[in-house]
Structure 1
Amino acid sequence: MADKKQQLVLSIIDFLNQSIDDGTVKQDDREGLEVAIQCIGEAFGVDPSDDKQRERLSIKPAKLQTIFDVFLKTRSKVGPSSAPTTPSAPSTEDKAKAEKLKQTGNTRMTAKKYDEAIDAYTKAIALDSTNPVYYSNRAAAYASKGDHASAILDSEKAIEVDPTFVKAYSRLGNAHYTLGDYKAAASAFKKGVELDPTNANLKSGLQNATDRIPSEDDDDDGPPPLVPEGDIPMSNVSSNARGDAGAGGLGGMADIFRNMGGAGGMPDLAGLMNNPMMMQMAQQMMANGGMERLMSNPNVANMMNRMQSGGTTPSMEEIMADPELRNIASQFGTGR
């Protein structure tokens, strides 16, 4: 309980310091606010200059403002006296129009035109509010542009429409995880796993979220979870690029890209280490300097960013087009 209070205090202190730095607070008021910040920190035993304490208490990448935004949007959505309503059944014509709008939204997502994608999904929802996919896809679009508070609301709405829609729990878990609410993330992933016990992404997300829930005995942060696959089409992925066991160099490279798609763009080390083939490849890369070259390759960064935004997994042709990736892949194939 003490840690939770200190987390809140640190978040308040960071917000106040940011308000001083960005000019929100007038020059004449800065000195008084700085004194207040010092008094608040001393009263709760929080020292923002203590790196170790900051690492333990920080809620990054979430901020106090983003958490408050979630509260305001949720309160606005629920309202003081709102009652659940049953949406009217859409006509066959409206359903067809909504599906076309969904496809338009998916295309805009692939092109990283997130606002246009959101607009298309919103129009689809207006025509057919009984389809959880539209809310889930819009949640993915919001998350891609960094609006995780809205992603939470849409994920919850998708679950409200269809409590068995598994991908909504993935969306919800990732949004909470990104905002630093690991308990809420673990809860969402757990419900998803209960519905789909074989879903590796949900199980990985649950494990990673659970590992990062603060405790008095464990202050270490675990790795971020895998980003669940969305409803956005993953087209142009050849069978050789899917990384099936024993596929060799190029298939293994595609597997690496999929496993590197963790939250915030960081590699999902747990996913890599749990796969014997991936472990062997990683050891080879570390031995010959391939890992360092891979992480510094701008084409790799572009591929990862594209995948996180709902794009495709790199195809064999795309990997082969890059000399560095082609060289690394050939080493996997020959077992060097």
Structure 2
Amino acid sequence: MFAVVGASACADPDLDSTLTAMSNKQRLVLSIIDFLNQSIQDGTVKQDDKESLEVAIQCIGEAFGVDPTDQAQVDRLSIKPASLLSIFDVFMKTKDKLGSSPAAGASAPAASSSGPSAADKAAAEKHKATGNAHMSAKKYDDAIKAYSQAIALDPTNAVYYSNRAAAYSSKGEHSSAVLDAEKAIEVDPSFVKAYHRLGHAHYSLGDFKEAAAAFRRGLEIDPSNASLKTGLQNAEARIMLRNMGMGGGAGGAGGAGGAGGMPDLASLMSNPMMMQMAQQMMQNGGLERLMQNPALANMMNRMQSGGGMPSMSELMSDPALRDM
């Protein structure tokens, strides 16, 4: 019996290693499929080549047992918030910094032990200034290139990563912005602006909990920062709406449905959070201003005439009520 148990124990590491290797290969394949699908969607691939590429995607998936329509498998294999392109970008920047030859690689530790030279820092600042100018002109790809050159010269400056995160977010590549903002925080945990970049990127990706967490971390360092406070309030509001079945892509699932899949007013006001908000409005005079709104008065008259309770979407269609 001991011999059998011993043999099984010896076999397990090899099996685990094989499964891990296969899982990593499938992660890579899924990342490739995501990249190719994104290239089709954003117009990188010509329309004439779209059908051929779709066939190739199907063949690649079948060869490695990866099905991008299987959400359970996607959740297990996904590398998000990173992407294949962002990982490759980091690799290329590192490669350019260290140099491709063995001699350059061997000399890198000695050069980096004392940090970037004064000349490197000065040159990096010039690249940053160039990047800032490109940002002002909304030339985001050029800005990213300039900030990357600054990082290659001085990877110890958190500002360069933060600025590149802003450039990525400006062109909608929020996953890459997350990576750069996290790197900026790693380089300088006290750099407050990086927390705002990180929170904004997560918020734009719809990950409101991570966004709120980033804003809170920043406020621990700078409790009076107005931008972080506003970001936290917005993120927490979206979390509340999502928990109530409204907004953030939740679409009112699981709640009583008003027009447009949103909960009706009666079910909404039974929510404890909404009751708390109503109490706050009573305290700060917001309820009195709300009741003076002509649109609300018309709705109340309609209800008294037997017209029924207005839906949440009907309330939100009025700009004044929506602002309230």
TM-score range (shorter-chain normalised) is 0.3 to 0.5
TM-score by length of 2: 0.45
Relative contact order, CA 8 A, sep 6+: which one is greater? 1
Q: Which has the larger radius of gyration?
A: 2
Please identify which structure carries the higher helix content: 2
